[in-house]
Amino acid sequence: MKSLYDICAPAKLNLFLHITGRRSDGYHLLESVFMLIDWCDTLHFDLRVDGQISREDLVTPLPPDDLVTRAARALKIASSSPLGVHIGIEKRIPVQAGMGGGSSDAASTLLALNSLWQLNYSLERLSQIGLQLGADVPFFLGGRNAWVEGVGEKISPVILPVARFLVLKPPQGLETRLIFSDPTLKRDSETAIISGFAANTFGFGRNDLQSVAQRLCPGVTQALEWLASHGLSGRMTGSGSAVFAQVLQDIDLMGAPGEFQARLCSSLDVHPLLGWAVSDSLSVSSI
């Protein structure tokens, strides 16, 4: 049977990531620019009229209570919908990579079920549900590249230059919790401004998590050194172990370190599901 919806869930790159402080509840305050890229998972949705939520892992086995299942359950509880869904997941985005794969899957699930169950929830209402699942979920729901602040909930859509990137993921992943709990993590970066970023879009700032990540995961350093050996300036994305560099021409990936995942990716102007939920208001800044 053909799924009612066959949709993709794109990954993201953090072009920079600064930690500017920490709230009294322990959550870290950040500044970053998130860029969508064309490394995607594919999700298949079939309507169930019995109200049940089921999931099938088509490529990579996932934890029983992953973000897709939790997103579907959260939306069902919030809406009291009598309908259910069977979800098939083709997982391609590496896990624990800092590329937002789980959050992207959750966002695509909320958008797909909002339509499949005919809920007609606004983007703001879906984002309220999504933020409870993960700080990056509202970004993917918004559907545009964005300047992100706070704990991830302050999102200002921006228009970024088209670019290509080489993304390199070591075989080891990184747990976000381990990085953010590290006592050596820099937590006092100065507040940045969009105009400063715009002056040097792909070379601006740094990832404040990178030095901690390199100590916890030697593969991060190995990936950065491999990029440097090809004349590329690499940087870690998010809190995972993947690194990336902008490329201006194709590069031979056959020489990448063994068991590393290497892929040439292009930026996306907008999320493939942009418009699947209506926003009350939207303004977009150009970089």
Catalytic residue numbers read: 12, 136
**The pair of three-digit structure tokens given for residue 73, joined into one six-digit string:** 């359950």
Q: Give Dmax over CA atoms of the chain in angstroms.
A: 56
Question: Taking Cα atoms as reference points, which of 255, 253, 174 lies closest to residue 220?
Answer: 174
Terminal CA-to-CA distance of the chain, rounded, Å? 44
Query: What are residue 244's phi and psi, to 5 degrees?
Result: -150, 160
Buried b (16+ CB within 10 A) or exposed e, 104-127: bbbbbbbbbbbbbbebebebebbb
Euclidean distance between CA atoms 157 and 75, whole angstroms: 25
Cite the beta strand spans of 128-251 per DSSP E. 146-150, 154-159, 164-169, 235-236, 243-247
Q: Report the run of H or E that residue 36 belongs to, with start and end.
A: strand 28-48
Orientation of helix 67-79 relative to helix 123-133, angle to 10°: 130
